[in-house]
Amino acid sequence: MISAGDFRNGMTIEVEGNIYQIIEFQHVKPGKGAAFVRTKLKNIKDGGVVEKTFRPTEKCPQARIDRNDMQYLYNDGDLYYFMDNETYEQISLSADDIGDSLKFVKENETVKMCSHNGSVFAIEPPLFVELEITETEPGFKGDTATGATKPAIVETGAQVMVPLFVSQGEKIKIDTRTGEYLSRV
């Protein structure tokens, strides 16, 4: 159990049967009345953000989030298969559970599975990936002065905006958190 006076950004707590991550917190001591803690909480299962106030002495259980490295094997229609690298145990998740978290991940790459009490709620891809461009329009010499971008399709099927000088068949580095082009490889 953790008291509201000890809240910190990034902590995960259990409130009313849901698991929340603390995005922001603020200790407020008004001139009149008792002090309180104002928080902004993000539901880790559905991504919704709520604001809630607590008394500083109020206690709530701290949620334990397990992050395991697993290898993304393949997808078979609506199911995605993963393997634990230590126990070689395989699990499958539906496309609804995955969302778009694997749009920059190739087969056989390692991802982090986030789970609470054995139920997986999120997949964290590697922060940076190197992918080959499979389709883009050709760039023209001298077009790079404006810093303009063009759409490109990478080998996983995702679309990325790249500078005009990048051409088809090149490998590029992508930030998976923002989906932005970083550099050529």
Q: Is the pLDDT of residue 144 over 60?
A: no
pLDDT for res 145? 60
Res. 157: pLDDT tops 60: yes
| Average pLDDT rounded to a whole number, residues 76-85 | 86
Q: Which pLDDT score is estimated for 51?
A: 92
In the chain, % of residues over pLDDT 90: 5
pLDDT of residue 40: 92
With b meaning 16 or more CB within 10 Å and e meaning fewer, what string describes 144-158? eeeeeebebebebeb
What SS3 class is residue 6?
A: helix
Q: How many angstroms separate the CA atoms of 121 and 128, rounded?
A: 21
* Cα 152 to Cα 175: distance, rounded to the nearest angstrom: 15
Report whether pLDDT(167) > 80. Answer: yes
Residue 57: pLDDT over 80: yes
Q: pLDDT confidence of 143, banded at 50, 70, 90?
A: low
Tell me the average pLDDT of the chain. 84
Mean local confidence (pLDDT), 71-80: 86
pLDDT in tens, 83-127: 888 888 888 888 777 777 788 888 888 888 888 877 777 788 888
- Tell me if the pTM is above 0.75: no
What confidence tier does 146 reach under pLDDT thresholds 50, 70, 90? low
- What is the C-alpha to C-alpha distance for residues 63 and 13, in angstroms, rounded to an integer? 5
User: DSSP secondary structure string, 31-54?
Assistant: SSS--EEEEEEEETTT--EEEEEE
pLDDT over 80 at 180, yes or no: yes
Domains belonging to the chain, first-starting first, are 2-60 (2.30.30.30), 66-124 (2.40.50.140), 128-184 (2.40.50.140)
> Can you give the pLDDT at residue 142?
60
